[in-house]
Every structure is written in C-alpha cells, then in structure tokens.
Amino acid sequence: MKLFLVRHAESIWNKEQRIQGRKDPGLDEVGIRQAKALAKRLKEERIELIYSSGLKRCSQTARIISKQTGAPIKFHTGIEEIVLGDWQGKTVEEVRKEYPKAYKKWLDAPSKARIPGWEGIPKFMRRVNRTFEFILNRDSATSVCVVTHWGVIAAYFSKLLNTSFDWFFKRVRVDNCGISKVCYKDGKTIIQHINDTRHLKEKR
C-alpha cells in the first residue's frame, strides 16, 4: 500500500493564527487554490480511496481531491485534530498572554503542557495509532490518501520513527497541503518523503 498523508488546505483560522483544535472553520480562498493544486498532483498517484477527518477544513480539501481523482471518501473521527480545550478559538497571541507558562511548555515539550480541557498527548497518540492500524488492515486499496491535521501527522510519524511526539513537533514542519508518503510492502515500512509542497508554487 502507498499511503499519502495530507494536511488540510489553509483555513480562515490558519490565516488569522487562531488555534483550531476541534473547532470547525472552513477553507479560505488561498486554501481552495491550494486544494485544487494538491488534487491535480494526487491524480497522478492514482488514488483509490480517501480517508478524511470530518472537520470542514479537511472535508472540503478531501472533496476537491475526490472530484479530481474520482476516489470515494470515508470520514473517520479517529483522524480529527487533538482537542485543545480552552485554547480553541483564541489567537496565538491571546494564548501567549493568558497562559504564558503553559504556552511556553507547549512550544518546548507539548506532552507536558497543561491546557484546561484538552485531550492530552498520550490519549491522542493512542487514538491516532488505533485509527491508522484500522486503515492499514481494513482496505485492499493500494493507493490511499488520508486528509487530516498537523497533530495527527506528527503523532503517526512519531510512531514510525520511534521517537517522541515532542521531538517531531519541534523539528519537523508540515505545511497546509503538504504531502507525506509512506509505502508498506513485504512487511517493510518505507517513508519516502515528508511535507512535499512542490505542487504549491505560486498558489498563495
């Protein structure tokens, strides 16, 4: 199986630097252009099936991909973004001012942050890993696209690389509509690339 993990296109709140979590803003105009460029690129990969988070920023991205590739979409709550509690809906600057210690800890080691009402990294990691096990074992499709969120991609690659979520979070960038490709063959797992954005040139 070839697995293409895609972060959703730019949302209204991405542009505003507003923390999303499980809140549900849709794509902005830039995001729609990004998603169309992404879909055109993925058509070359002969995508057979799309799994998507049900949140608008992902579902809108997934539908644009589906329209271009003809692949059906399955929505799954297991690949929705981490719940970020009281931070959701606030701008980064508001969080920095209202929760200075927790925000600093989030930047240094997110698993140790104390965010009121959040899901927490261990619980989030278990959810994400269970969902990817389901996807890998459930379908016979050989080319699958997963439209999801930055946190979900970080959680899954942390497991593949046998490292911590904190390590990946601090060191690896995943842009809106960046493509990460993993191949599973003969019992081997091969990461071919992370955050490929060649298709996004001049799409802002």
Q: What is the pLDDT of residues 72-123, one digit of tens each?
A: 999 999 999 999 999 999 999 999 999 999 999 999 999 999 999 999 999 9
pTM score, whole prediction: 0.96
- Cβ atoms < 10 Å from Cβ of 64: 23
> Which residue ranges make up each domain of the chain?
2-200
Strand-by-strand arrangement of the 188-196 sheet: 73-75, 49-52, 143-148, 2-7, 179-185, 188-196
pLDDT at position 201, please?
80
pLDDT at position 204, please?
54
Sequence-ordered list of residues with C-beta below 8 angstroms from that of 175, at least 6 positions apart, any chain: 7, 195, 197, 200
Domain over 2-200 is classified CATH 3.30.2130.30: no
Q: Contact 58/32 with Cβ under 8 angstroms?
A: no
Tell the residue number behind the tokens 């055109």, with chain if given.
40
Tell me the residue type at 160. Answer: L
Choose the catalytic residue: 76, 149, 193, 199.
149
Choose the catalytic residue: 8, 76, 193, 199.
8
* Mean pLDDT of the 171-191 span: 96
Catalytic annotation present for 193: no
pLDDT at position 141, please?
87
pLDDT at position 113, please?
96
Q: Contact 53/59 with Cβ under 8 angstroms?
A: yes
pLDDT at position 102, please?
97
| φ/ψ of residue 99, rounded to 5 | -130, 60
Q: Contact 43/69 with Cβ under 8 angstroms?
A: yes
Whether the CA torsion 77, 78, 80, 85 is positive or negative: it is positive
Q: What is the mean pLDDT of the chain?
A: 96
Tell me the residue type at 181. Answer: K
User: What is the three-class DSSP state of 85?
Assistant: helix
Higher pLDDT, 160 or 187: 160
Whether pLDDT at 203 is above 80: no
Catalytic annotation present for 8: yes
Q: Contact 80/22 with Cβ under 8 angstroms?
A: yes
Whether the CA torsion 160, 162, 166, 167 is positive or negative: it is negative
Whether pLDDT at 44 is above 80: yes
Record the tokens describing residue 142, joined without a space: 């050989």
